[in-house]
Structure 1
Amino acid sequence: MNKKLNCILLIDDDDATNFIHQVIIKKAKIAEQVVTTLNGKQGLDFLTNSGKYHNKETPLPSIVFLDINMPVMDGWEFMEAYQGLSESMKNQIILVMLTTSYDPDDKERAQRIPEISEFEKKPLTFDMLNRLMEKHFPEK
């Protein structure tokens, strides 16, 4: 892999999970920057340069890893708001729902949302990252 992704965004309320996922991404050397947010609202603020990200130069992430169950704004509520973002922005982002949910209804619901590229089980692994990179970023 020659070029790295500009940014990966983790949206998950669990600090330990975010820490582990950051370590895996950094060891894989696939991204210049890894940003974590603790709920869907913060993730949306990051994408739209609003809230605490207002007037900050934040790179558009190439991949967003989204948890389902979070306080403030959960993954499904995030997706409702995300669908209202510009097509030009969404077309640059691979959105991966990364969850501990084993509920088949969650997977079916995710598959009905065109903006969700993948539905994966936690934790993030090197194999999962490699598979995602080969599928969605073969030129990297």
Structure 2
Amino acid sequence: MNNIQVCVIDDDEVFQYTIFHTLETHKSVDKIMPFTDGAEAMNYFNEHIDDLSKLPDIIFLDINMPVMDGYTFMNQYIKLIAKIPKKIKIYILSSSVDLADFEKTKKIKEVSNYIVKPIKDNQLTKILAEL
């Protein structure tokens, strides 16, 4: 798939910078939407829910963020799914290696996978190729 739109929800500026530049090297990636917390991203989704061209194909979501963390974002996102006209893949990207986070994430069927930061380029390539 080409023209992939990627949404990155993470408050870590260094990670945002790194993943942004890594994604830019992938020819299949057309647009990158960065958000620093779940609330900012949720507002965007609510504003653009009917516009397929503005919705991402994939979301990379951090867990620990100020304002709205990744789990709260997922709870609100799940309520929106029925209204979203496309299937969006979601990956949790976190520096947390806490087993409780792994277990909690496993229970959220809308999440494709839990990846411990930093994401490796070959992991990213595989994820993008699967879309």
Deviation at 1:90, TM superposition (A): 7.5
Alpha-carbon distance in 2 for matches of 1:20, 1:90: 30
Residue of structure 1 in register with 2:45 after alignment = 47
Q: Give me the whole-angstrom Cα distance separating, in 2, the residues matched to 1:63 and 1:33.
A: 11
Q: 1:120 aligns with which of 115, 122, 125?
A: 115
> Which region of structure 1 is more displaced relative to structure 2, 86-95 or 67-76?
86-95
Please report the RMSD computed on the Cα atoms of aligned residues, expressed in angstroms.
2.2
User: So what's the TM-score if we normalise by structure 2?
Assistant: 0.89
Equivalent residue number for residue 81 of structure 1: 76
Distance 1:129 1:117 in 2: 13
> Deviation string for 1:78-115 (max 9, x for gaps)?
11111100335285100000000000110111111011
Q: Please state whether the residue corresponding to 2:115 is helix, strand or coil.
A: strand
Counterpart in the other structure of 1:53:
none
Quote the Cα distance in structure 1 between the aligned partners of 2:126 and 2:11: 25
TM-score by length of 1: 0.84
CA deviation string 1:27-69 (max 9, x = no partner): 122211101000000111122217xxxxx99611001000000
Unaligned runs of 5+ in 1: 51-55
Evaluate the alpha carbon distance shift between residue 4 and residue 99 of structure 1 in structure 2; reply closer, same or farther with a 3 A threshold. Answer: same
Report the equivalent of 1:106. Answer: 101
Q: 1:101 to 1:62 in 2, by over 3 A?
A: same
* Higher mean C-alpha displacement, 40-49 vs 125-134: 125-134
1:26 is matched with 24
Aligned residues: 130
**Residues 90 and 78 of structure 1, relative CA distance in 2, 3 Å threshold:** farther
CA contact (8 A) 2:2 2:30 kept: no
Q: Extract unaligned runs of 5+ from structure 2.
A: none
- Deviation of 1:4 after TM superposition, in Å, equals 2.7
**Identity of aligned pairs, percent?**
28
| Structure-1 residue corresponding to 2:88 | 93
Partner SS, residue 113 of structure 2? strand
